[in-house]
Amino acid sequence: MIPLIDIEPFLHGSRADKVRTAEALDDACREFGWLVVAGHGVPKSLINEMHGVSRGFFARPHWEKMKHKMPADRYRGYTPPGTESLAYSLDEERPPDLKEAYSMGPVDAAYDEYHYGPAGARYFAPNIWPDKPADMPRVWEAYYREMSRLSADIMRIFAVALDMPEDFFQAKIDEHITNFSAIYYPSQPDAPLPEQLRGGAHTDYGSLTLVHCDTAVGGLQIQTESGAWEDVPWFPDSFSVNLGDLMAEWTNDRWRSTMHRITNPPRNQAHLDRLSLIFFHQPNYDAEIECLPSCVSADNPARYGRTTSGDHITMKLTKQRAPGLEAEAAGESAGRPKAWLYPPETEGRAG
């Protein structure tokens, strides 16, 4: 069973506490590619506020939400139902996922060459904010910063577990390009189509994913090595953590990027909806990803070549958009620069 691991001893304990926590995490990442963390330090009041304001947005009329529909040139804003299928990221055709979402990217980015030059601009496009709920930008940005802090803490534990210096990943994630999404899975008065799910089977793309959801009904399942599907345990005050493809490559498959899906609720509970807050932690766009020296030996040579975080995530996000949705997810333009490439003051705050 996927374990619940208290990370507070690592964050505030002795060297022995750090080692014990890292060993427990290493075991979970080897066996499942998944764990649940307690002792994370995220204020419960902020989590509750995030769920409240996000539900407030999804309760708005459809026409109003569509004013903030995700444009083709950035992964920001509202994704309406029927426009994404996660199975497409694995080149599998399935009906669209039964969900809608709102997404944002980095906050607090400096307006400089690294962030807004030709290499970085696509990853630091401004966020798109609705007028209602009025406090959505404040709450979401506060939550994004807290998830950035928690992700960095977990990456420190990862480093110790992998026999690397504790600060090994720091320079690779200090300008991370994480997309955060609140995903709303509505009730299902009508039965889904054959093979249609709330979220199709897929692996995540980056280093790790942090998930907080408000119910276990119609929830996460992982695929075991035998091919069976197993429920991810739900603890209201904890975060589910799973590894992405880049972490599997970094560790030369010592750790798993596990196939998972979001199931439909049983028909006798189809009236229940679900909200998930998902932080898809993604290293700096120019971070080079290659097998760690602690995960390579003469008997276990490197299985992967070198890539960058940015190249990998651009390819994956483009694939997952269902046919018919705009394909320019990378944000490149053939003509004049996009308006958001100009200084943030001209279009709200950057990030």
**Tens-place pLDDT, residues 190-221:** 999 888 888 888 889 899 999 999 988 878 89
Kindly state whether residue 10 falls inside one of the protein's structural domains: no
Q: Given the structure tokens 């290493």, which residue do they identify? A: 26
**Are 143 and 50 within 8 A, CB to CB?**
yes
Residues (pLDDT < 70) of the chain are: 84-93, 316-351
Give the number of domains in the chain. 1
Kindly state whether residue 351 falls inside one of the protein's structural domains: no
Give the structural domain span for 271: 15-346
- Nearest to 246, CA basis, from 147, 172, 349, 140: 172
- The CATH number that applies at residue 277 is 2.60.120.330
Share of the chain above pLDDT 90, in %: 72
Kindly state whether residue 1 falls inside one of the protein's structural domains: no
What pLDDT is recorded for position 347?
A: 32
Burial 246-269 (b: 16+ CB within 10 A, else e): bbbbbbbebbbbbbbbbbbbeeee
What pLDDT is recorded for position 329?
A: 35
Q: What is the DSSP letter of 334?
A: S
What pLDDT is recorded for position 86?
A: 60
pLDDT tens digits for 42-89?
999 999 999 999 999 999 999 999 999 999 888 899 999 877 666 555
Kindly state whether residue 6 falls inside one of the protein's structural domains: no
Kindly state whether residue 3 falls inside one of the protein's structural domains: no
Burial 191-221 (b: 16+ CB within 10 A, else e): eeeeebbbbbbbbbbbbbbbbbbbbebbbbb
